[in-house]
A and B are shown apart, each in its own frame.
Chain A
Amino acid sequence: MKGLPSLLASFSLPGALFSHYRRHPLQLLALAVMIVLATMLWTGVNHLTSQARASLNQSEQAVAERQQVVRDDGQMLAVDDFVALRLVGVCVMPWLEVTPETGNRLVGIDPLAAYCFGSRNRPSPALDQPLNGKPFLDMGVATAIKSRDSRLYLLTPDTTQTADLPGGYQLTSFSTSPDTGELGDSFLLNLEALGILVLLITALLLRSVYLLGLVQRRDSFALLHRFGVSPDRVQRWLVFEILALALMCVVPGVGLGRWLAAGLGGGFGQALDGLFDIPLYAGQGQGWAMPVLVMLAVVVIACLGDLLLLRFRERLSLILPKTVYSGLAALLLVAGLAMAWLAPSLPWVFIAVALVFAGAGWLAPYAVARIARWCAGRSTKPLALWRYRELAVLARRLTLPLVALQFALAMVLAVQALVTTFEDTFDRWLGQRLEAAYYIEVPAGADGRQAAEWLTRQQTNTPGLQWHRVMRGQAQVTGTDNANNPQVDVFAVAPVGALIRSWSLLEAADQHWEALDSGSGVMINEQLARRQNLSVGNNLKLRLGNQQRVMPIQGIYPDYGRPVGEILLSAETLPDSFNVRFESFSVTPGKPGIAQMTDALQGIWQVEALSMRDNGTIRELATSVFDQTFALTRAMTLLTLILAAAALLMMGWVFFSTRAWYFRLLVAWGMSQRQVAGQLLRLALLLTGGIAVLALPLGIWLTWVLVHRINPLAFGWTLPMAVYPAFWFELGMLSLAVGLSIAALMRRQLGRPAVAPVSASALTGGER
């Protein structure tokens, strides 16, 4: 008697299990689409990150752990120095950095000279690569490039000792731009955090869709159990089923993700290049195995994780009462908040972010349910009471998609604030740096002084003429706590006129511009201030050329270009021994126009043509490079948000449908369909609006972390923290639109004739 059904069931178990999806093909489709989209988004972000990582690694490897030979007198190295060193047997390799007139910086190296690098005459692995990839070139090619800036470095292996060097030379560490490693890592860290967040959100969505189906299948599981099929066997089949589905969907998902990354990533390397001012290789693609395996694991864990861990959880909930859970969540949240505030380094900040998200995600649906119940307790009208109670049920039942939407909203909000702030700030800063209309280089061998004198004479009778002379070089900050006195860039300006005085400063003393003009003070950029812990009023000890100077700091200016320390001072006070690496004029020609000026300067300098830049074009170029990066980030986050919104819409609708009987009960009790639809609308709007409201503080906090914690720790500068209520409003509208759509779908369902409640729970009084 009992044997027959069991036998039948054992033959058709997969068929019996799968029959659910034959009856609900849309659910299967939703699950499949969700897996594909989740895989695509995560692979996309991940692919971009790994591409960027490969590029950064390669370029870092090429410059890592090297030392260089420099002259004691601080003068720039020349070919003579190379010859002199080689003659005494020191292994040096020339490294020529050139910045072409158009395009990014290139590095010329001489692989033949590198034979002495590495042990046993084996060339160093970093230099073992063929020299066909931009931006590394053969030395011969690099010297032939028409450039606006070039500098020669001589690298030497770690084995070289100071004693090996001839007199007049010393060893220092070498890196093309200080701290690019940290800078690049931070950006990757940000991207990776974004990727993990995306993965988390999609896993939550996936889980919610899967659980939905599982709840409906519970009846057939019970039936199978009665037929004598053990739950273990059912579970094994479920794992098999989801694995098969995942495999079918993950592979195209990975393909789509790579396609997305390739489409978006074309300009990405370029953007990174412009962003960090470090040379990048184009990254090689990642294999397929990794993302496929990761996504398979994520799908199985997201769908069946608790089924597999059920026993553990049962034991846990035996030990811990429910209130302990929310207490634990609150604890996580508080610990995360405190940690983010106090964290000394980046990894701790990221852990703190994880804690805060875990806590907030855990608490949010509880909070909505709690608030709803509190409102219910205060409402005197039964209808309001009913609405709030129903809201509490919905909040608990829709926990996963709600949390996913909350996270997505918070993430989009933070990324938007960060990106918009960055764009604004960067624009303002570029504007400051490129205040003058034109930038004119002083030709090699020519004297800038004559031109300055001519411009001074013109000043009196040319309306609108604004100009200053800029001399760039390097100085050494001395007397710091650090043993190695850092090199800083010098930005020497004269006269200190309107072009400079329009700069906005982070911090300034009284009469700071006057002090700068008279040479009785300097200004420093934020990077230097943070790194050396300097503030206005402190004295800065400097070695300028061969002179030792002590100058009070008059102001600190924001500088978002490179993570290098920089000082701004009056060019009048530079000692003659100061090595001017670069000299230029910034000019806004005023009424007579630029042509007249270039003619005059060509005459003064006795040259045929001037090297001149239109600052407007540069500004455009720089802005467009940044725009690309930001557009990418925005696109990724927006996609996630759309996915989350769509998932909530679907889940909301499905769950509302399971309660359709009770909504129709209101009709049976004499409310008109229009009134009931109104109630549903308010319910749906309360739900999605509530989650948007809860996402707001999380998003603002995340913005604060990005701007005030992660950025200074990683980049050495802060961005002004700005909030964008208009965008909050847009996100709020989106949430309400989701609510509105749920209500509209439900309204259609109300119109259909009443059938008995579908869910099995109705037989026991309904879920609450």
Chain B
Amino acid sequence: MAESLLAVRGLSKHFVSGNETVPVIEKLSFTLGQGQSLALTGRSGSGKSTLLNLLCGLELADAGTIVLQGQVFETGAKIARQKAMKWSSLRRQQIGVVFQEANLMPALTLLENVQFRAQLAGRSTASSQDWLTRLDIGALAQRYPDQVSGGQRQRAALAMVFAMEPALILADEPTGSLDRHTADEVTQVLFDLQARYGCGLILATHDAELAAGCQQHLDLGHLSSL
């Protein structure tokens, strides 16, 4: 395989609740090529969100190595502060994160949200309106998040992510709170744009149909039961 976008080796993460240690991710390894998509499945509590957080540095792993865009993150190898800075700059410019809900700043209009995200990533804000249009919500640009529907909000969230021209998109059940029809529409747009702009995608979902749309498949529930 050519230069891979993401390589994970021996990744482990546990949480401590009370005096009990709960292992969530144990010795996980996988790779993702440039422009490829990966579906992350598993039952609730299997660690999908945790893995996504590890992959963008919102949480730090206990053990293992993550190589992202040629940058190597090893546990304990670097001073935590420096590592955090590196993750920040990656999230700012390379990794787009989409959550199940509340991806937009409530006090900013849809357009302002897209502009904000683009500006943080150091991209031009000139195309922000175009992104909204491409996601079929161009007419809603001046509305605030509470003035549009849940599906429209998730479209806006996708517009924001694409406006920052990321190398990797981490989507955590992005359609989890939408109805079937809307969810399908939004996912379709996501796959289309991802294919068109050639960025990597890791999609956490417990929807088998959505997962089928991805090129690769990783079942955490299956893994942890091994």
The answer to whether A468 has its CB under 8 Å from any CB of chain B is no
Question: B residues within 8 A CB of A754?
Answer: 53, 58
Among B91-99, B184-192, B208-216, the one that faces the other chain is: B91-99
The answer to whether A539 has its CB under 8 Å from any CB of chain B is no
Contact A765 B146 (CB under 8 A): yes
Question: A residues within 8 A CB of B145?
Answer: 765-766, 768
Interface size class of B (residues with CB under 8 A): 35 or more
Contact A386 B105 (CB under 8 A): yes
Contact A757 B91 (CB under 8 A): no
Closest to A668 in B: B97
Contact A765 B144 (CB under 8 A): yes
B103-140: which residues lie under 8 A (CB-CB) from chain A? 103-108, 112, 115-117, 119-121, 125
CA distance A386 to B108 in the complex (A): 7
Contact A385 B56 (CB under 8 A): no
Question: B residues within 8 A CB of A757?
Answer: 101-102
Contact B107 A390 (CB under 8 A): yes
The answer to whether B85 has its CB under 8 Å from any CB of chain A is yes
Contact B112 A766 (CB under 8 A): no
CA distance A592 to B112 in the complex (A): 86
| Given known A382-B119, A383-B116, A670-B93, contact A756–B85 (CB-CB < 8 A) | no
Question: B residues within 8 A CB of A763?
Answer: 101, 150, 177
Contact B84 A673 (CB under 8 A): yes
Question: B residues within 8 A CB of A767?
Answer: 106, 146
Question: B91 is contacted by which of A389, A392, A668, A761 (Cβ under 8 Å)?
Answer: A668
The answer to whether A764 has its CB under 8 Å from any CB of chain B is yes
CA distance A665 to B102 in the complex (A): 9
Question: B residues within 8 A CB of A662?
Answer: 102, 105-106
| Given known A669-B92, A754-B58, A765-B146, contact A386–B103 (CB-CB < 8 A) | no
Question: A residues within 8 A CB of B89?
Answer: 670
The smallest C-beta distance from B51 to any residue of chain A, in angstroms, reads 14
The smallest C-beta distance from B145 to any residue of chain A, in angstroms, reads 3
Question: B residues within 8 A CB of A766?
Answer: 102, 104-107, 145-146
Contact B120 A671 (CB under 8 A): yes
CA distance A390 to B112 in the complex (A): 13
Question: B residues within 8 A CB of A661?
Answer: 102
Closest to B114 in A: A382
User: Can you list, as one digit per residue, whether each of A671-685 has a CB less than 8 Å from chain B (1) or not (0)?
Assistant: 111000000000000
Contact A756 B100 (CB under 8 A): yes
Contact A665 B105 (CB under 8 A): yes
CA distance A393 to B56 in the complex (A): 30
Contact A768 B146 (CB under 8 A): yes
The answer to whether A753 has its CB under 8 Å from any CB of chain B is yes
Question: B88 is contacted by which of A390, A665, A672 (Cβ under 8 Å)?
Answer: A672
Contact B117 A669 (CB under 8 A): yes
Question: B146 is contacted by which of A667, A670, A756, A764 (Cβ under 8 Å)?
Answer: A764
The smallest C-beta distance from B26 to any residue of chain A, in angstroms, reads 19
A307-324: which residues lie under 8 A (CB-CB) from chain B? none
The answer to whether A762 has its CB under 8 Å from any CB of chain B is yes
User: Can you list, as one digit per residue, whether each of A357-399 has a CB less than 8 Å from chain B (1) or not (0)?
Assistant: 0000000000000000000000001110110011011000000
A712-768: which residues lie under 8 A (CB-CB) from chain B? 753-754, 756-757, 761-768
Contact B58 A667 (CB under 8 A): yes
Question: B116 is contacted by which of A385, A764, A768 (Cβ under 8 Å)?
Answer: A385
B84, B105, B150, B177 — which one has the most chain A CB atoms within 10 A of its CB? B105
The answer to whether B59 has its CB under 8 Å from any CB of chain A is yes
The smallest C-beta distance from B110 to any residue of chain A, in angstroms, reads 10
| Given known A766-B145, A766-B146, contact A668–B56 (CB-CB < 8 A) | yes
A38-83: which residues lie under 8 A (CB-CB) from chain B? none
Question: B residues within 8 A CB of A390?
Answer: 105, 107
The smallest C-beta distance from A99 to any residue of chain B, in angstroms, reads 69
Contact B102 A669 (CB under 8 A): no
User: Can you list, as one digit per residue, whether each of B192-212 has a CB less than 8 Å from chain A (1) or not (0)?
Assistant: 000000000000000000000
> Given A390-B105, A765-B104, A767-B146, 14 more contacts at CB 8 Å?
A393-B107, A662-B106, A667-B91, A669-B117, A670-B89, A670-B90, A670-B120, A671-B92, A756-B101, A765-B146, A766-B102, A766-B145, A767-B106, A768-B146
Interface CB pairs A-B, < 8 A, 18: A382-B119, A385-B112, A385-B116, A389-B107, A665-B105, A667-B58, A669-B91, A670-B93, A671-B92, A672-B84, A753-B58, A754-B58, A756-B102, A764-B146, A765-B104, A765-B106, A765-B153, A766-B106
Residues of B within 8 A of A (CB): 53, 56, 58-59, 84-85, 88-93, 97, 99-108, 112, 115-117, 119-121, 125, 144-148, 150, 153, 177
Q: Which 7 A-B pairs have the closest CB atoms?
A: A670-B92, A766-B106, A765-B145, A389-B107, A765-B146, A382-B116, A670-B91
Residues of A within 8 A of B (CB): 381-383, 385-386, 389-390, 392-393, 661-662, 665, 667-673, 753-754, 756-757, 761-768
